[in-house]
Amino acid sequence: MNTTNTMNHTLGVAGAGTRGGILSDITNVRAGRASQTDDKIKAKSTKPLNFAFQPTAATTAATTTARSLENSDHTRCLAMKTEENDTLSLQSVPEYVTDITNRLFSEETRFLPEPQYMDMQTDITTRMRMILIDWMIEVHSKYEMRLETLHLTVNLIDRYLSKVQIKRTRLQLVGVVAMFIASKFEEINPPELHQWVYICDRAYTNEDILITECKMLTSLSFQISVPTAAHFFEFLEKANDCDGIHRSLAQYLLELGLLDSRMLQYSPSHVVAAALLLSNELLQHSPVWPESMAQQSRHSEESLSNCARELWELLEADRAGAGGELQAVHKKFSAKDQYAVATLRFETPHAI
């Protein structure tokens, strides 16, 4: 049974569609949006950026003047490029990195869901949550959204479900609304309202989505800008000196962790550090957890062992079943652009 049919059967969502139907059609929607964007980009780039002065005078004096102007213009170009580089440097705000990092660590535990919130839910289960998150990962991949959008979506879903009891027939709506909010917050060109209605095969209306959006924002006191694993992953994978394969492997572990409610007991930085620790072990790096990483992540190797072990169990289960019923993460990380890390074989880690 495929992911969407499983969701349709388990969640009781009418009109959830089939993988060959609504989910594959998301690509067509995305292609249309991408094509429009490409056209706009091409329209903006029709005028060449040519700053070189072309002398037209034939006389020696005019040529000399022209060359002087050309040199002056060349100098101006270099100044412009320098200014552009300075602007990029300013945008990276290196002088504030320490303050921003400290703020992320100090704030991350303030906006976590209740780890055992399923105990207060009477009509949904952890299995249903897993199916929902798997489907959201597939939607996220189809629309090629940012990593921050996915992790914020899951954070919003879990925080909302920690506060509000819902029926299983509305669980998919909660997921769609969470990604609707997250995409508006993180994306430059987020999917529009009618596209979210289309994604869920019109099981919900525009009004359903907008009303639930208001309820979710109110329940969460409009606290949307919160630290997630995506924020910690960005600087910790660089501190760990990850190449492309290493980065994809760590991200693969993180997204497997999104499916499992056991990860809710850990802070975002803890899960990211555990994923990097496990990826270091699987790729046979030595030392597995350098002192520099313990300092940067603020987590020791010993404190990460339980989380890393659980991530290893998720990895083994995913590889053994090739994704099983939940295909989104396995399919995503079996692709060439992710170095097909889901198809790699690893020895059992000694430190786990």
Angstrom distance (rounded) from CA 26 to CA 199:
7
Angstrom distance (rounded) from CA 117 to CA 126:
10
Q: List, for residues 270-329, the tens digit of each pLDDT value.
A: 999 999 999 999 999 999 999 999 999 999 999 999 999 999 999 999 988 775 778 899
Domains of the chain: 14-23+105-219 (1.10.472.10), 229-343 (1.10.472.10)
Q: List, for residues 217-261, the tens digit of each pLDDT value.
A: 999 999 999 999 999 999 999 999 999 999 999 999 999 999 999
Is 161:127 a contact under the CB 8 Å cutoff? no
Cα distance from N-terminal residue to C-terminal residue, the chain: 33
pLDDT at 128 over 60: yes
3-class state of residue 349 by DSSP: coil
Angstrom distance (rounded) from CA 301 to CA 294:
7
Measured between alpha carbons, how far is residue 317 from residues 4, 10, 50, 253 in Å? 20, 21, 56, 12
Instruction: Determine if the peptide bond prior to 227 is cis (ω within 30°).
Output: no
Lowest mean pLDDT among 29-43, 148-162, 267-281: 29-43
Alpha helices of 143-243 — where are they, by DSSP H? 147-163, 171-186, 193-199, 206-219, 229-239
Q: List, for residues 88-118, the tens digit of each pLDDT value.
A: 455 667 778 889 899 999 999 999 999 999 9
Mean pLDDT of the chain: 81
Lowest mean pLDDT among 29-43, 123-137, 284-298, 310-324: 29-43
Measured between alpha carbons, how far is residue 280 from residues 276, 317, 343 in Å? 6, 20, 17
Residue 165 tokens, joined: 């009891």
What average pLDDT score do residues 7-12 get? 48
